[in-house]
Structure 1
């Protein structure tokens, strides 16, 4: 499920706990973007499979003679939607244009994300990180190392990364791919009391909502999860949205705050609500911290839980988009 894999792991654990099949679970995920699998071309794959039936050197030569030069080139890895072949960046560019999100707004949001992450690290807030030894770093890595606080002028000078020359998505206002892993400990309330653990948060309602509009899943899922929890957007104290692209995040916010969109696509009488940016991704997000697909979901949930305690809130909203038009949202309640 790409970007919401760890969210699905958490939801699966909740199902196991609620059914009584387990009373303690660990949910998480890992990603190694620095060593992604690179596929061979279809022609070369067919030849490799057929080679298992070859019995002689002449047979191998005959098999090789059928290959074309293009068959020898590997398929370059790409973050693309499997149903259309279109890259996520192309979809984000189109979504940003549809909702009127300007390049300047995207760059400003990206700069905000990096600034908030830097400030959170310096304040000791993003501290639930297990140090790992890295030969490349020649020591232990104890914090996410992709935070870069640049200038508006530097961001404005970058060229479009996907839709050229007129796109608005750049390397700076898109989440970057990185290695990473995350895990969280989940259990029933009764088991936590039995073991003497003090819960950080309760996981309330959640939803996985497939829609045909790629990357707009968080807006749809937010509506659905709020209804399940019996809450309004104004009841939420902490908001953690996955920052796939600055344009994608801002388009979802515009959708949530649009009377027209919510009436036509969500069946509401008016907008879902107003997103208070003072509650939104206050410790940075995927644009600044990075986006290891399998790990991001747990980071979103644990960050929301820690922020609820730090900011003295009760309810947190987590939302993310994923491949296939999937949207996910979850309500995290402070314990």
Structure 2
């Protein structure tokens, strides 16, 4: 984030609010005289969950531990994401990325966070959140980045009347929410079975999967939850699991771990990637799923438009 809001300290905010309420010159002068240099220290905004005051990284670390996701599994998935993103970029598959001129800098023509590495290099990184024994690192976490996105959604009738050629149908979608303390990042595990049921589909019917990669540990935990009868019965009230996505269909052009996670823009990227992959791979159905702050999540089924 290149232009983040810098907040005043709590003491400075309290003084400014009191100044706003002051009725006399004497009261204002007294309050101004109480300001100290320390009050001017900026307070950086934290990427933390409002309901628990815990960063998502801490939640991801605890979630990975709860589902028995190892550091090795997380690093392997992170390396996979960067490797696939590099392959997709080199093949010209990420063509929906629009060049943008940053004032005073070179034109940004492509995603520049893709960094294929090696397992040896990833293993050298220390835990980023729970120290010293955590498993979430900077390399197996999505990185904050600038970005924007847009998707045009309208009825098929309207699109054709305006001369547009649709890329895909939005067939079904669900929003879910769960306990933000222990299940903050499990939106895909809760949303996927629900949206499949609404659409009358199974995992085998889905040709393309695109899940938001907030953290490698979060992804692996969701995949394990989807493949667990115990989770389905205990938390979903289902008789059986829906199963985990086949990895040969899953995030094949990289994901948030390698492309970055610009808040508010990632959802559109997931949807457009599914639409483009369905066209490229000749599939019929795609499934998008993501976790979100507040213990929320969503899942949607995208269907390819007949060409």
In structure 2, the residue matched to 1:193 is 160
TM-score by length of 2: 0.94
In structure 2, the residue matched to 1:168 is 135
Unmatched tracts of structure 2, length 5 or more:
none
Aligned counterparts of 1:69 and 1:104: Cα–Cα separation in 2: 47
Task: Kindly indicate whether structure 1 or structure 2 has the higher relative contact order, using CA contacts under 8 Å at least 6 residues apart.
Answer: 1
Q: 3-state SS of the aligned residue for 2:31?
A: helix
In structure 2, the residue matched to 1:42 is 10
CA RMSD after TM alignment: 1.6
| Shift in CA distance, 55/266, structure 1 to aligned 2, threshold 3 Å | closer
Q: Please show how residues 223-302 of structure 1 align to structure 2 within 5 Å.
A: 223-302=193-272
Query: Do residues 211 (structure 1) and 211 (structure 2) align?
Result: no
Alignment length (residue pairs): 302
Unmatched tracts of structure 1, length 5 or more:
1-32
Which of 94, 106, 110 lines up with 1:143 in the alignment? 110
Whether the aligned pair in 2 keeps the contact of 1:318 and 1:330 (CA below 8 Å) is yes
**1:196 Cα deviation from its structure 2 partner:** 2.1
**1:57 Cα deviation from its structure 2 partner:** 6.6
Aligned counterparts of 2:33 and 2:65: Cα–Cα separation in 1: 48
Which of 53, 61, 71 lines up with 1:103 in the alignment? 71
Aligned counterparts of 2:42 and 2:11: Cα–Cα separation in 1: 11
Whether the aligned pair in 2 keeps the contact of 1:93 and 1:167 (CA below 8 Å) is yes
Q: 3-state SS of the aligned residue for 2:238?
A: coil
Whether the aligned pair in 2 keeps the contact of 1:217 and 1:325 (CA below 8 Å) is yes
Q: Indicate the structure with greater helix content.
A: 1
Which of 100, 122, 134 lines up with 2:90 in the alignment? 122
TM-score by length of 1: 0.86
Q: 3-state SS of the aligned residue for 1:63?
A: helix
| Shift in CA distance, 253/44, structure 1 to aligned 2, threshold 3 Å | same
**1:76 Cα deviation from its structure 2 partner:** 2.2
**1:200 Cα deviation from its structure 2 partner:** 0.3
Deviations 1:3-39 (A, max 9, x none): xxxxxxxxxxxxxxxxxxxxxxxxxxxxxx2211122
Q: 3-state SS of the aligned residue for 1:327?
A: strand
